[in-house]
Structures are given as C-alpha cells and as structure tokens.
Amino acid sequence: MPKLDWLGKKAVVNHHREVPFHLLKNNDDLSVGDPGSGNLLVQGDNLIALKALLPYYAGQVKCIYIDPPYNTGNENWVYNDNVTSPEMKEWLGRVVGKESEDLSRHDKWLCMMYPRLSLLREFLRDDGAIFVSIDDNEVSHLRMMMDEIFGSSNFMAQLVWKARQHLDSRSLNGISTDHEYIFVYSRTAYGCKLKGKSRDESKYSNPDNDPRGRWMSRSILGLANAKDRPNLHYELVDPTTGLSYPCAVNTGWRYNRETMALKIKEGRIIFPKKPNGRPREKVFLNELQTTSAGFPSIIDGIFTADGSQTIRNIFGTQIFAFPKAPDLVQLIIDQSTDKGSIVLDSFAGSGTTGHAVLAQNAADGGNRRFILVEMENHICRNITTQRLARVSQGYKDVPALGGGFRYCELGEPLFDERGNIRATVSFADLARHVYFTETGEPLPAMKEIKSPLLGVHNDTAVYLLYNGILKDKSVKGGNVLTTNILAALPVHEGNKVIYGTSCRMDADRLRREGIVFKQLPYKLKVGVV
C-alpha cells in the first residue's frame, strides 16, 4: 500500500508514545450539574490530554467525532487554522527540530494530525468508529494518513456533506464549493455498522388482499448483457395470457429461468395489463430482513448556517465562527452509538459534540457520555463551558436537555525532570497508570481504589505497593516487597506482577511464588501505548 511522506514525518510518527502521562485536575468552580454524570470537558493541549485520558478510557469509546483545522491558509482565522499558532510553532520546533523551519503549511498540518490520530485510535472499541470532518484543502492527505494509521481495510466511507445552503458567487473560478467531507473508519474491519435510515413503509400496500400482507413492486431488470450472462436473457411469458415480454438488450432479467418460474408460481411476478408494459416483482414488507434502509453517503438538509444560528440563539451573538450544526453531529451519534456509549471529541471548539450527545440522550432516553478536549483556555471557559451549561440547564425559552459535566485541567506530568514519581501523585493516580501500562487496558471501574491488588488480567494479578497502601507507617511506607508484605497482600493463586520501590525477597522465592517484581519508577514504561 502506498504511504504518504512529508517533511518531519520521522519525528512525529511515534511521538505519541513519547508523550508523558499527565495528571488531570478537577476544577469544581467550572463544573456544571452532577459531576458524576460521566461527562468530561478537559482544557489543554489535546495531544497531552489524550495521553492523560488513555488509562481511563482506552478501548471504551464507541464514536469519535473531530472537526480539526482545515488548513485553509487563512492566518486571520486563528482558531480553525491554528497550525500557524505560536503554540504549534513551539511544539513543532521542539519535536521536529531545525527541520521545522522548512515545513510547508501542509507539512505542519500532517505533523500536527498524525500523533493525535494515532492516540485517538487507541480509544476506540472494537465496534467503534471515528468520523473526521475535512474540506478540499487536506482531503487527499487525510485519506492516506488515515489509511496508514487505521488501516485501509477499516475504511468505511467518505461521506459528502452539502454544507452550503446557497450558491457562493464569490469564487474566483466561478465554482461554488458547496460541500465538505466526513471520513469514517472503524477500529476493526466490519466492526462498526451504521443503523441506516428508517424504511419508508408508506410505499407498501395490499390492493389485491394478498394473504402475505403489504407489498410494493420493483423492477426485475438485471444488470448484465447477453455476452456476460446469457442465462439471464430470455423471453418471459405470462402463463395467463400467453403474452411474451422480451428482456432489455443490455441488461436482461434479474433472475434466471428457474428462479423466475418459481416466482411466477408463487404469485410474486406482476404482469402488465398492456402488451407494451414491463413485468415487475412483489416485495413483501414482512419478508424484509431489516427495518431500515442504508445510510446515504450524501448528507443534505443540514447546513453550516444551522450551526451559526444555534450559537446566536444560545449567546445572542455570533461568538464563534463556523461551528458545526448540532443536527449533523447528532445524526452521526444516532447512527453509530447505542444508548450507553461514550463519545469523544478532541477538537471540541464551541462544544457542538457535547450539545449533540445531550440532545440525542433527550431524544431517545439514552445515557451516553461525552469526553471533550479544547486547547484554547478562553474558548473552553467562555464558550464551550457556557454553551454546555446553558443547553443542559435550559436557556431563554429552550427546555433543559439535562446532564452535567466535570471540568478538568492538565496537571503535572507523572514524573519529575529527574524521572522520579512526583510526591503529589496519589495512590489512585499511579494505580491507573500502572494497570494500564502493564495490561494495555483501563483499570476496572471501582468507587475507590483502596487495595494493592489492582486487578487480574489474563490470570495474572497486578499489585501496587505505594504511598502506604497497606497502612504501614514505616519510612518505606510498606512499599518494599518482603515476605511479611507478601503475606499481607490479597491472595491470588496464579502469577503476579508486583510494583514497588524495592524487593527484599530472593529470586528463588519470587519464582516459586510466581512473582515478577518491577521497581518503581524505573520499570513503569509510561510512554508505551
């Protein structure tokens, strides 16, 4: 498979593995409603934020929707074209090095997107899917990059969204670009299937009182010429009238003679009353295997202007440029999630995805949860937070959608500059990182983490000795593995991995007990995804 190459790729292709884990800090003053609702808004660099969220949500997200910068080249459009921002310039200089000075805007965009998409992939469930909005500026680059990260076999669709409601007469070439795209990739091949649109049953009736119930007719013309499928080219005879109906020269019939004869016998073929008419087939409603039709690859009837109008309704002014329409994102959520799903958006902007999750929950009684990440502090505090607060609690004459959210900010890295675990790191914080880096899965949900036994994965128990978890008040705080400490640990009969500051048990005893000891912080591989 051909791969996309660009200046700076070597520096960023594995950069997501090198990003250190950071802690998340709750900001109760900016949280809204019930913090226990499961909804989360994180302010900070989305690359760092995604890495911080992995120990909590890896492999648990059903739907990811992102609306990243389109890289239009318009440097005056700061938020939506922030590949030229000072923050991005600093990041590129640090990660790519001197080479970053020679990057084109397309190189910069690819460098920015690649590690973020790589991390996003780790959040998806096996039956999950990611939806990425884009326009013509980077559509070809994005397709190749996502083929590389997610796998070309996991490509589901390149949806076309008719975003513009009215023709644009300002174009220099005279063409009104009315569309954008939405790429859809699943986590695993055929792992995700959209629900499709509800079937229009109004087309079904039963004018002849057929005991099989309501039906509609469809063409029985085929798609193959006589050279390719000669068995589909023959004259069809009405057994009642004896009239003969030739097939179309270039298409033939849908069925061969034997199948057609059976359908005639079962009364499924409708012959025309006029000699020049075409026979058709009855299709019975109760014999359809699904109650829905396919989801169309062209989305129409929802426009960019709808998103702008929503913002004006909420804030009384156009406080955010070109937000996505909530109905568009809600349509995606409705099609790709169940009622208990987690939805992630790491380019949150004005908070359209969170708004859409709450709206869909209100529509079908669901309990979906959203995770949003917004980099810009001003936007996150004054727009994203305010929008979600207003739509959840109600505003003007618009009823409340319900739901609250917890507001978080990025805290310190797990390790200090000397590679030691920071003194501020709690047992619960470290436990989540230890379990995730050991197993690749989030720590099983629990109200409080009060035990050194974090969980059992593939018949191996994972233990953490840290911060006096065994109530040992000694200098070492019970963080050293000794025979006495081992006897105090919750029992597991199989293999064990034990993290601690040091070990006082000899190698033979460890082997007999089925223990692999890993010393903190040196054996904690926090960069691995």
Selection from 218, 212, 201 nearest residue 293 by Cα: 201
Query: Same domain, yes or no, for 245 and 276?
Result: yes
pLDDT at 79 over 50: no
C-alpha distances (whole Å) from 5 to each of 107, 110, 114, 132, 144 are 9, 9, 12, 21, 10
Is position 144 within any domain? no
Domain coverage including residue 243: 201-289
Query: Same domain, yes or no, for 30 and 115?
Result: yes
Is position 418 within any domain? no
- Listed residues 371, 386, 413: the one ending a domain: 413
The band of 77, judged by pLDDT with boundaries at 50, 70 and 90, is very low
Query: Same domain, yes or no, for 56 and 124?
Result: yes
Q: What pLDDT score was predicted for residue 446? A: 61
Location of structure tokens 């669709």: 157
Helices (H), 394-426: none
The tokens describing 11, both together, are 């520096």
pLDDT at 422 over 60: yes
Phi/psi of residue 26, nearest 5 degrees:
-70, 140
User: Bridge partners of 182?
Assistant: 133, 159
Query: Same domain, yes or no, for 105 and 14?
Result: yes
**364-374 exposure pattern, b = at least 16 Cβ within 10 A, e = fewer:** eebebbbbbbb
Is position 267 within any domain? yes
Look up the CATH number of the domain holding residue 336: 3.40.50
Is position 528 within any domain? no
Query: Same domain, yes or no, for 86 and 24?
Result: yes
C-alpha distances (whole Å) from 203 to each of 195, 217, 254, 266 are 21, 9, 22, 22
The band of 102, judged by pLDDT with boundaries at 50, 70 and 90, is confident
- Listed residues 413, 441, 470: the one ending a domain: 413
For the segment 287-311, what is each residue's pLDDT rounded down to a tens digit? 887 766 789 999 999 999 999 999 9
* Higher-pLDDT residue of 50, 86: 50
* Higher-pLDDT residue of 73, 182: 182
Query: Same domain, yes or no, for 387 and 321?
Result: yes
Look up residue 47 and give its DSSP letter: H
Is position 386 within any domain? yes
Query: Same domain, yes or no, for 316 and 272?
Result: no
pLDDT at 411 over 80: yes
Residue 67 and residue 312: Cα distance in Å, rounded?
A: 20
Query: Same domain, yes or no, for 340 and 253?
Result: no
Is position 196 within any domain? no
Query: Same domain, yes or no, for 409 and 435?
Result: no
Is position 298 within any domain? no
- Listed residues 365, 382, 413: the one ending a domain: 413
Give the alpha-carbon dihedral of 285, 286, 288, 293, to 10 degrees.
50
pLDDT at 492 over 60: yes
User: Bridge partners of 415?
Assistant: 421
Query: Same domain, yes or no, for 270 and 352?
Result: no
Number of domains in the chain: 3
For the segment 198-244, what is each residue's pLDDT rounded down to a tens digit? 777 888 999 999 999 999 999 999 888 888 899 999 999 999 999 99
For the segment 133-153, what is each residue's pLDDT rounded down to a tens digit? 999 999 999 999 999 999 999
Residue 387 and residue 367: Cα distance in Å, rounded?
A: 20
Residue 78 and residue 90: Cα distance in Å, rounded?
A: 16
Q: What pLDDT score was predicted for residue 443? A: 86
Query: Same domain, yes or no, for 358 and 441?
Result: no
Cα angle vertex 160, ends 159, 164, to 5°?
A: 145
Is position 156 within any domain? no
Query: Same domain, yes or no, for 407 and 445?
Result: no
